[in-house]
Chain A
């Protein structure tokens, strides 16, 4: 089913990935697509690896994306990109937040955070890298990192025609609307 597009959002529990995916899915629905989204629950809330999968097209069957099938991976945390890289199409795109969250084995000194993640990614795939955390901090709230990533994704997927601002508005508290719309635009600017 070539006409179905597959987006994989990966990162760590607490980064706002589920919210970003919800906004993404609503945007795609508003554009008239059939959409399926699969999210991870349970243990992942406790600092584990988190992924959501969004598939859209004329008609979607499976809610999950298999290996070698993602058109794009949007990664909220550097190392998590590597964990899911086998799901990317060989000619797929990667959008990476240059941000590290050490996992438990790293914190207790059993392992080292992998080196050269960015170099590996660049060598293997069409990769866009930027520091969403810094952008979000500059805007005044690190928590908007997820919407920065969403903006970058919308641009990378060529989904600019969707009225993202309106959908963001429907999904965040009123006092955070402006900062999130700024975050969205900043994210879009990151991708050429």
Chain B
């Protein structure tokens, strides 16, 4: 049976078919749907959201040591968080097979950088596999697990946005129950003390030699002979793009197993063709190693190392072909940046926070990053998950130490706080900082499309569970009870009062804004706590003085044409515009 699957759906199916029994991940575009599509195989696979990627990989490592086939998934920047256990698990090796899916984002469709995680395989000395469509994504999961077990190595399963989010036809298979391998206590293997590590490092180097032999022999790295004037070495989605451009007019060495590289096979291929190109997305990962081995090839001289690759770029770079396009005045087109949704609970708080002068707002990764855009402009920085709190602390200390009178406010979401914000808060308390930390608790992981997290009270596979109490957690970390504010972010007066008080304090303060994401299907607990009334706001045109203050809230439901008006299909009656209007020209309907 053939199904039309995204790469993520195919990886999920592959894990199911390959007898995986443990998976863990932290959501991050473009990797999120892998776990969402594994979760329904509840009877066969245990799947969970972890608070962060390090925890996800460590949990998968534990399952692997226990003997289960295990998978951890994350986006490229998540591997930075998980790098610590990765490098050591590369030394100890596995028991049950383990794969780490790294979903890279060339072109930065929804990421803060476009790092090429193939280097992680080389750096950590693990095997790496790169599928080029959904069929391979499914099939390679099984092969990766077999490699993992045979060569006693974790396998980096590297995909990119175009693989994750493109649908191609996939032939499904049956699940193979591989069971759990027996667990045997083995201190010399699994306890990474320096004495054991020195021995293990030698084994790792030996393993790499064996893996290189495998790499030269495996069908994952295959030659397609056509005309030998042009030879192309390529991997991942770049293979599809190259095929699109050259079709049967060139020969290909398609690499599916890319660490260690099959240098012998590459050399053989190189010797047979007249001109050799390396077509790879982002960094010259393959090219560098080929050139270091003395193989003459053309790569980044022509193919850019910035941004997502596509067939046009290849055709233009190598064949000097440029497509004819329709010429028109593109300047006429207005941008369409993503915005905080109508009724987003972050809007009210940001609207009031951004009014404060002489503060620095350190932001974080999540929907609320959109609060940095005009008209709210409620953010000065955004670095990585958790950095709002810790970078905020550093900035506050720097201002104080250098005699500059400026307060710092760090803003972070609930899921991100659990991910890596809480350690920053410990830093503030321990080191006597006094930056203000705002936890924007919208009761869900919003940006990636509503994944449960430790604060929501539900697990990935739908079970009810203990919900972490954020105020108590802050108290346990050392924030005084009187310095913890819990407010409704849609109440502008409460926001203002709380922000003013917090900025006046000399001790660390936490403000927790509690209101569910407007797109979230409310849980029974949400309805009990926040109600479920449907109202909308309307502009009274008589009273509207055309001051445009309501548009400054940045609500996409509000537009202005001589008078303000509110799109009733979008409005959810959050009231923020009503409170912002100085002329009482907005009223509530449907209460």
The answer for the CA separation of A105 and B339 in the assembled complex, in Å, is 10
Q: For the complex, is A67 an interface residue (Cβ under 8 Å from B)?
A: yes
Which stretch in A38-46, A149-157, A158-166, A180-188 binds the other chain?
A38-46
Q: Is the CB of A68 within 8 A of B323?
A: yes
Residues of B within 8 A of A20 (CB): none
Q: Is the CB of B328 within 8 A of A124?
A: yes
Given contacts A37-B167, A66-B323, contact A47 B374 (CB under 8 A): no
The interface bits of chain B over 85-127 (1 if a CB of A lies within 8 angstroms of the residue's CB, else 0) are 0000000000000000000000001100000000000000000
Q: Is the CB of B323 within 8 A of A104?
A: no
Q: Is the CB of A108 within 8 A of B375?
A: yes
Given contacts A64-B162, A66-B323, A109-B551, contact A43 B109 (CB under 8 A): yes
The answer for the CA separation of A64 and B133 in the assembled complex, in Å, is 12
Which stretch in B207-215, B330-338, B583-591 binds the other chain?
B330-338
The answer for the CA separation of A12 and B332 in the assembled complex, in Å, is 18
Q: Closest Cβ of chain A: how far from B2's Cβ, in Å?
A: 8
Given contacts A62-B240, A62-B310, A63-B240, contact A110 B374 (CB under 8 A): yes
The answer for the CA separation of A68 and B556 in the assembled complex, in Å, is 32
Interface residues of B in 66-83 (CB under 8 A from A): none
Size range of the interface on B? 35 or more
The interface bits of chain A over 26-63 (1 if a CB of B lies within 8 angstroms of the residue's CB, else 0) are 10010000111111111111111100000000001111
Q: Closest Cβ of chain A: how far from B308's Cβ, in Å?
A: 9
Residues of B within 8 A of A99 (CB): none
Given contacts A38-B162, A46-B340, A102-B559, contact A67 B334 (CB under 8 A): no
Residues of B within 8 A of A62 (CB): 240-241, 243-244, 310-311
Given contacts A36-B167, A38-B166, A61-B241, contact A47 B556 (CB under 8 A): yes
| B32, closest chain A residue (CB) | A41
Q: Is the CB of B324 within 8 A of A90?
A: yes
The answer for the CA separation of A42 and B27 in the assembled complex, in Å, is 11
Q: For the complex, is B202 an interface residue (Cβ under 8 Å from A)?
A: no
Residues of B within 8 A of A83 (CB): 333, 336
Q: Is the CB of B325 within 8 A of A68?
A: yes
Q: Closest Cβ of chain B: how far from A53's Cβ, in Å?
A: 9
Tell me which of B29, B310, B554 contacts A108 (CB under 8 A).
Answer: B554
The answer for the CA separation of A111 and B374 in the assembled complex, in Å, is 13
The answer for the CA separation of A13 and B449 in the assembled complex, in Å, is 13
Q: Is the CB of A36 within 8 A of B168?
A: yes
Q: For the complex, is A172 an interface residue (Cβ under 8 Å from B)?
A: no
| A107, closest chain B residue (CB) | B559
Q: Is the CB of B323 within 8 A of A103?
A: no
Q: Is the CB of A82 within 8 A of B328?
A: yes
Q: Is the CB of A1 within 8 A of B324?
A: no
Q: Is the CB of A114 within 8 A of B334?
A: yes
Tell me which of B109, B244, B339 contacts A41 (CB under 8 A).
Answer: B109
The answer for the CA separation of A40 and B560 in the assembled complex, in Å, is 30
Q: Closest Cβ of chain A: how far from B161's Cβ, in Å?
A: 8
Residues of B within 8 A of A79 (CB): 333-334, 336
Q: Is the CB of A61 within 8 A of B558?
A: no
Q: Is the CB of B338 within 8 A of A48?
A: yes
Residues of B within 8 A of A60 (CB): 168
Tell me which of B2, B166, B335 contacts A103 (CB under 8 A).
Answer: B335
Residues of B within 8 A of A9 (CB): none
| Secondary structure call for the B interface | loop
Residues of A within 8 A of B240 (CB): 61-63
The answer for the CA separation of A80 and B336 in the assembled complex, in Å, is 9
Q: Is the CB of B332 within 8 A of A114?
A: yes
The answer for the CA separation of A48 and B448 in the assembled complex, in Å, is 15
Q: Is the CB of B552 within 8 A of A43?
A: no
| B132, closest chain A residue (CB) | A61
The interface bits of chain A over 71-112 (1 if a CB of B lies within 8 angstroms of the residue's CB, else 0) are 000000001101101111010000000000011111111111
Q: For the complex, is A130 an interface residue (Cβ under 8 Å from B)?
A: no
| B337, closest chain A residue (CB) | A104
| B3, closest chain A residue (CB) | A29
| Secondary structure call for the A interface | mixed
Given contacts A41-B109, A42-B29, contact A107 B556 (CB under 8 A): yes
Q: Is the CB of B165 within 8 A of A40?
A: yes
Q: Is the CB of B554 within 8 A of A104?
A: yes
Q: For the complex, is B247 an interface residue (Cβ under 8 Å from A)?
A: yes
Residues of B within 8 A of A49 (CB): 336
Residues of A within 8 A of B433 (CB): none
Q: For the complex, is B438 an interface residue (Cβ under 8 Å from A)?
A: no
Q: Closest Cβ of chain A: how far from B364's Cβ, in Å?
A: 15
Q: Closest Cβ of chain A: how far from B218's Cβ, in Å?
A: 22
Q: Is the CB of A63 within 8 A of B324?
A: no
Q: Is the CB of A43 within 8 A of B162?
A: no
Residues of A within 8 A of B367 (CB): 46
Residues of A within 8 A of B341 (CB): 46-47
Q: For the complex, is A141 an interface residue (Cβ under 8 Å from B)?
A: no
Q: For the complex, is B354 an interface residue (Cβ under 8 Å from A)?
A: no
Q: Is the CB of A114 within 8 A of B168?
A: no
The answer for the CA separation of A65 and B548 in the assembled complex, in Å, is 41
Q: For the complex, is B326 an interface residue (Cβ under 8 Å from A)?
A: yes
Q: For the complex, is B55 an interface residue (Cβ under 8 Å from A)?
A: no
The answer for the CA separation of A116 and B431 in the assembled complex, in Å, is 60
Residues of A within 8 A of B551 (CB): 107-109
Q: Is the CB of B162 within 8 A of A63?
A: yes
The answer for the CA separation of A113 and B548 in the assembled complex, in Å, is 18
Tell me which of A12, A40, A44, A108 contacts B374 (CB under 8 A).
Answer: A108
The answer for the CA separation of A90 and B327 in the assembled complex, in Å, is 9
Q: Is the CB of B332 within 8 A of A103?
A: no
Q: Is the CB of A40 within 8 A of B109?
A: yes
Q: For the complex, is B30 an interface residue (Cβ under 8 Å from A)?
A: yes
Q: Is the CB of B4 within 8 A of A29?
A: yes
| B555, closest chain A residue (CB) | A107
Q: For the complex, is A25 an interface residue (Cβ under 8 Å from B)?
A: yes
Q: Closest Cβ of chain B: how far from A28's Cβ, in Å?
A: 10
The answer for the CA separation of A61 and B240 in the assembled complex, in Å, is 5
Q: Is the CB of A42 within 8 A of B109?
A: yes
Q: Is the CB of B165 within 8 A of A41?
A: yes
**Best-buried of B6, B168, B338, B569 by chain A (most CB within 10 Å):** B338
Q: Closest Cβ of chain B: how far from A13's Cβ, in Å?
A: 8
Q: Is the CB of A107 within 8 A of B4?
A: no
Given contacts A36-B167, A66-B311, A90-B326, contact A41 B335 (CB under 8 A): no
Provide 19 A-B residue pairs closer than 8 Å at the C-beta atoms, listed in order of the A residue: A1-B247, A35-B4, A38-B165, A38-B166, A41-B110, A46-B367, A47-B336, A49-B336, A60-B168, A63-B166, A66-B323, A83-B336, A85-B326, A88-B325, A90-B325, A103-B335, A107-B559, A108-B552, A109-B560
The 10 closest A-B pairs by CB, nearest first: A42-B110, A68-B323, A63-B166, A46-B338, A66-B312, A103-B336, A42-B29, A62-B244, A48-B338, A68-B325
* Chain B residues in the interface with A (C-beta under 8 A): 2, 4, 6, 29-30, 109-110, 133, 162, 165-169, 237, 240-241, 243-244, 247, 310-312, 315, 323-326, 328-330, 332-341, 367, 370, 373-375, 447-449, 548, 551-552, 554, 556, 558-560, 569
